[in-house]
Chains A and B, each alone.
Chain A
Amino acid sequence: MDITWYVVLSALLFAIGAGGVLIRRSPLVILLCLELMLNASNLALVAFSRAQGNEDGQVFALIVMVVAACEVVVGLGLIVAMFRRRLPLNVDEMRDLRG
């Protein structure tokens, strides 16, 4: 299998994730789409690592996983906090940045 296939697949997954972030309104689902994007980049990293012939890309992918985990922890904590305060779980409701 040419490495090109894997990278194109990664691009596709990334685009799907980006579209999902833009379309969905629930913060939880947006975080899930974020995970999609991160995983897509992981796939690209691993593919390139195979293409290069050394494992640096794989280590990078591991660290990305670590970062993703941390981000999930904080994000979910936020969502739970929102839920506890009876705030509507809708990204569109949070408009305090309005100019």
Chain B
Amino acid sequence: MSATTYGWLVLAFPLAGCLISAFGWRVLPGRAAGWIGTAAIALAFLSSIGALVALLDKPVQSRELTSSLYSYASAAGLDIKLGILVDPLSVYMILVVSGVSALIHLYSVAYLASDRGYSRYFSYLNFFVFSMLLLVLAGNFVLLIVGWAFVGFASYALISFWYRRHTATRAGMKAFVINVIGDVGLVFAAFFIFRDLGTFDYLSVFHAAPQHFSTNQGVLIAICLLILVGAFAKSAQLPLHTWLPDAMEGPTPVSALIHAATMVTAGVYLIARTHPLFELAPTAADISAFIGLATLIFAATVALAVTDLKRIIAYSTISQIGYMVVGVSIGAYAAGLFHLMTHAFFKALLFMGAGSVISAMAGTQDIDRMGGLRRALPFTSVLMIVGALALAGFPLTSGFFSKDEILVFASNRGGFYWIFTVGGYLAALLTAFYAFRIIFRVFWGEPVPEARELEGGHLAHAEPANPLTGEPEDTDVGFPGPEHHIAERDRPMWLAMATLGVLSIVGGALQIPGLDHVIETFLRGSFLDSRLYESVPSVLADWEGLAVGGAVALAGIAAAYFVYVARPGTSAALARRFRPVHAFLVNKWYFDELYDAVVYRPAIRIGRFSTGVIERVVVDGIVTATVDAVRGIGVVVRGAQSGFVRAYALLLIGGFAGLGLYFLIVSS
């Protein structure tokens, strides 16, 4: 079968899984929906491998294959097809997405086993994977926007999965609104592209762009900035990042899948896909890189202070995606996408571990209430340490190889790009620190009561409550189920985490400088038209960078050990001494408050004004005034129906006279 046929299969399997779970939820017994969903994604993964093999059969220059199912609109200069583009970049993305998704589905089979909305969950999850694959495989901007919107909806549905929890529904709405802002930017970008180049098709657009636009032309910069709006909304970069920490209200596997491994990488993919436009408008690319840099530093600082386990990992995600954005903006496409893959591995692993920990803690997510869970959760702790090592960039883990390649590429480009290198290493130090902040806080120290219970073989139990506000809940549909599942006890969770753990360690072997460059070679087929792709640093420079990175990671881990294990109480002392700084960080640099004041409150005021004044006075007033006017006219006209025959006769003669006057005038 050809690569494009595999491409369609990749889309078909998750969609089928979604529909089966959605429509058959009454008849599917027990965990059947979970296994169907997992099988669907596994089949999609196998199809991705098929596509990969089929693609590799072709020579490097001709690896951009398109296939169209039907022509959606072809009139008035439009030519929009339901078409996919199978090329190295999209095959790479579908492999990562379907692979990690399959493992997360496997994890979810056990994690959500007692939840009343089990089938709904897997239906939504499959729909999400379908949307993400559609987004990645799309061959034109219209289908991209369709996938983009679907993914936004799936995210909303899954964040608000426990829909009776009001914090979850509010978080879902927040995510959706910010995503829509991105959608608007993307749609405008597509419009401008169509207006100037006359087509939506990727290959045609990228071919025509250099001929039509001059470097840094105003319209092109505008297009790229609008694309960035879309990318940053989806990838939770400054200033559109506020939805991601709140999105932790969703079930932990959802956080793993959507908000770590796949959906938030859509922005990175988009910038990589539209690289011809960005290379033609270096100003926009630089703006993108700087925003990425700012985000990665900002998020790393916040992760030092917040205390909710999932939110620390969320800010870590924002920071790491900042790395990827910097990577694809400065031209390090292979490095940035490589980091995308390794990040998917270890971040999903970290979230899965977090899920296990939270289950062991009977639903608590505050790390200040955790401690000494090492003995109670041996497997989870080992795997979380693995994930944290990869996140920190400990030598020879996958994160070690992927993260620093970007920074070395930056310094190799010369000019002012050294800022990215310095900033990147600084943030790497912070990253290592907060990664092991989690580890040492949760797994080291005095075992908390829940840990002691678990060591005794009994999983701790607590009254169901909202982890953020503490409000009591029940375990019926719309809230989490009554059971808690940990990796030590549930085989599917164990299996998924183990696979990711292995991948987090060996994944780096795909791109060891000087030894092999599998990713770079494979992706070259999509970046043949790029000026920057081939300007890779020398092997020596690479190893120098990696050495610095490794040293930074070790320094960070050592600092965390010092603060949290060797001298417990240091972090509390630091927080007391630098109270305003700590408050600033814990409150996420007051972004939420800023948006509340600048956007939300004025919008509410406008809404209230509209209801109170415009609606009540103007609109109702107009309607009522019309009614009154008509009624008034009626009263006036009724006055003519006096019943006096002589009055009628007067009107008659008067009309006659008038008519005569008219005819006299006309005929004169």
Chief secondary structure at chain B's binding surface: helix
Known contacts A22-B646, A25-B646, A91-B646; A98/B653 CB under 8 A: no
Known contacts A18-B653, A22-B653; A98/B646 CB under 8 A: no
CB contacts (< 8 Å) of B645 on chain A: these are 91-92, 94, 97
CB contacts (< 8 Å) of B27 on chain A: these are none
Q: How far is the CA of A92 from the CA of B643 in the complex (A)?
A: 8
Whether the pair A97, B649 counts as a contact (CB closer than 8 A) is no
Whether the pair A95, B649 counts as a contact (CB closer than 8 A) is no
In chain B, positions 642-663 with a C-beta closer than 8 Å to chain A are 642-646, 648-650, 653
Residue A47 is within 8 A (CB to CB) of chain B in the complex: no
Residue picked from B642, B643, B649, most chain A C-beta under 10 Å: B643
In chain A, positions 4-53 with a C-beta closer than 8 Å to chain B are 18, 21-22, 25
Whether the pair B638, A99 counts as a contact (CB closer than 8 A) is yes
CB contacts (< 8 Å) of B653 on chain A: these are 18, 22
Whether the pair B649, A22 counts as a contact (CB closer than 8 A) is yes
Residue A96 is within 8 A (CB to CB) of chain B in the complex: yes
CB contacts (< 8 Å) of A97 on chain B: these are 641, 643, 645, 648
Query: Nearest CB to that of B654 among chain A residues?
Result: A22
**B639 → A minimal CB distance (Å):** 9
Chief secondary structure at chain A's binding surface: loop
Whether the pair B649, A98 counts as a contact (CB closer than 8 A) is no
CB contacts (< 8 Å) of A18 on chain B: these are 653
Whether the pair A99, B646 counts as a contact (CB closer than 8 A) is no
CB contacts (< 8 Å) of A91 on chain B: these are 644-646
- Indicate with 1 or 0, residue by residue over A75-99, a CB within 8 angstroms of chain B CB atoms: 0000000000000000110111111
Query: Nearest CB to that of B656 among chain A residues?
Result: A18
Q: How many residues of B contact A (CB 8 A)?
A: 11
Q: How far is the CA of A75 from the CA of B643 in the complex (A)?
A: 20
Whether the pair A21, B641 counts as a contact (CB closer than 8 A) is no
Whether the pair B641, A98 counts as a contact (CB closer than 8 A) is yes
Q: How far is the CA of A32 from the CA of B462 in the complex (A)?
A: 107
Whether the pair A21, B638 counts as a contact (CB closer than 8 A) is no
CB contacts (< 8 Å) of A98 on chain B: these are 641-643
CB contacts (< 8 Å) of A96 on chain B: these are 643
Known contacts A18-B653, A22-B653; A95/B646 CB under 8 A: no
CB contacts (< 8 Å) of B650 on chain A: these are 22
Q: How far is the CA of A99 from the CA of B635 in the complex (A)?
A: 10
Q: How far is the CA of A22 from the CA of B655 in the complex (A)?
A: 14
What's the count of A-B pairs with C-beta under 8 Å? 30
Q: How many residues of A contact B (CB 8 A)?
A: 12
Q: How far is the CA of A84 from the CA of B11 in the complex (A)?
A: 98
Query: Nearest CB to that of A18 among chain B residues?
Result: B653
Q: How far is the CA of A13 from the CA of B77 in the complex (A)?
A: 77
CB contacts (< 8 Å) of B646 on chain A: these are 21-22, 25, 91-92
Known contacts A21-B649, A22-B650, A22-B653; A99/B641 CB under 8 A: yes
Q: How far is the CA of A73 from the CA of B387 in the complex (A)?
A: 117
**B324 → A minimal CB distance (Å):** 80
Residue picked from B638, B642, B648, most chain A C-beta under 10 Å: B642
Q: How far is the CA of A98 from the CA of B645 in the complex (A)?
A: 10
**B603 → A minimal CB distance (Å):** 52
In chain B, positions 198-216 with a C-beta closer than 8 Å to chain A are none
**A31 → B minimal CB distance (Å):** 13
Whether the pair B638, A95 counts as a contact (CB closer than 8 A) is no
Partner of B642, one of A21, A22, A25, A95: A95
Query: Nearest CB to that of A19 among chain B residues?
Result: B653
In chain B, positions 616-641 with a C-beta closer than 8 Å to chain A are 638, 641
In chain B, positions 518-573 with a C-beta closer than 8 Å to chain A are none
CB contacts (< 8 Å) of B649 on chain A: these are 21-22
Q: How far is the CA of A84 from the CA of B37 in the complex (A)?
A: 99
CB contacts (< 8 Å) of B641 on chain A: these are 97-99
Residue picked from B646, B648, B650, most chain A C-beta under 10 Å: B646
Q: How far is the CA of A27 from the CA of B648 in the complex (A)?
A: 15
Q: How far is the CA of A97 from the CA of B645 in the complex (A)?
A: 8
Q: How far is the CA of A18 from the CA of B650 in the complex (A)?
A: 9
CB contacts (< 8 Å) of B638 on chain A: these are 99
CB contacts (< 8 Å) of B643 on chain A: these are 94-99
Q: How far is the CA of A98 from the CA of B640 in the complex (A)?
A: 9
Query: Nearest CB to that of B650 among chain A residues?
Result: A22
Q: How far is the CA of A98 from the CA of B648 in the complex (A)?
A: 11
Residue picked from A22, A25, A91, A95, most chain B C-beta under 10 Å: A22
Query: Nearest CB to that of A24 among chain B residues?
Result: B646
Query: Nearest CB to that of A91 among chain B residues?
Result: B645
**B655 → A minimal CB distance (Å):** 12
CB contacts (< 8 Å) of A94 on chain B: these are 643, 645
CB contacts (< 8 Å) of A95 on chain B: these are 642-644
Q: How far is the CA of A99 from the CA of B643 in the complex (A)?
A: 7
CB contacts (< 8 Å) of B642 on chain A: these are 95, 98
**A25 → B minimal CB distance (Å):** 7
**B644 → A minimal CB distance (Å):** 6
Q: How far is the CA of A96 from the CA of B644 in the complex (A)?
A: 9
Q: How far is the CA of A22 from the CA of B645 in the complex (A)?
A: 9
Query: Nearest CB to that of B648 among chain A residues?
Result: A97
Q: How far is the CA of A96 from the CA of B648 in the complex (A)?
A: 13
Q: How far is the CA of A96 from the CA of B643 in the complex (A)?
A: 6
Query: Nearest CB to that of A27 among chain B residues?
Result: B645
Query: Nearest CB to that of B644 among chain A residues?
Result: A92
**A82 → B minimal CB distance (Å):** 13
Query: Nearest CB to that of A98 among chain B residues?
Result: B643
**A16 → B minimal CB distance (Å):** 12
In chain A, positions 42-73 with a C-beta closer than 8 Å to chain B are none
**B177 → A minimal CB distance (Å):** 57
Q: How far is the CA of A98 from the CA of B638 in the complex (A)?
A: 9
**A37 → B minimal CB distance (Å):** 11
Query: Nearest CB to that of B653 among chain A residues?
Result: A18
**B595 → A minimal CB distance (Å):** 63
Given A95-B642, A99-B638, 13 more contacts at CB 8 Å?
A21-B646, A21-B649, A22-B649, A22-B650, A91-B644, A92-B646, A95-B643, A97-B641, A97-B645, A97-B648, A98-B641, A99-B641, A99-B643
| Interface positions of A (Cβ within 8 A of B) | 18, 21-22, 25, 91-92, 94-99
10 closest A-B pairs by CB:
A99-B641, A98-B643, A95-B643, A97-B643, A18-B653, A22-B650, A91-B645, A99-B638, A22-B649, A21-B649
| Interface positions of B (Cβ within 8 A of A) | 638, 641-646, 648-650, 653
Give me 26 A-to-B residue pairs in the complex whose CB atoms sit less than 8 angstroms apart, sorted by A's number: A18-B653, A21-B646, A21-B649, A22-B646, A22-B649, A22-B650, A22-B653, A25-B646, A91-B644, A91-B646, A92-B644, A92-B645, A92-B646, A94-B643, A94-B645, A95-B642, A95-B643, A95-B644, A96-B643, A97-B641, A97-B643, A97-B648, A98-B642, A98-B643, A99-B638, A99-B643
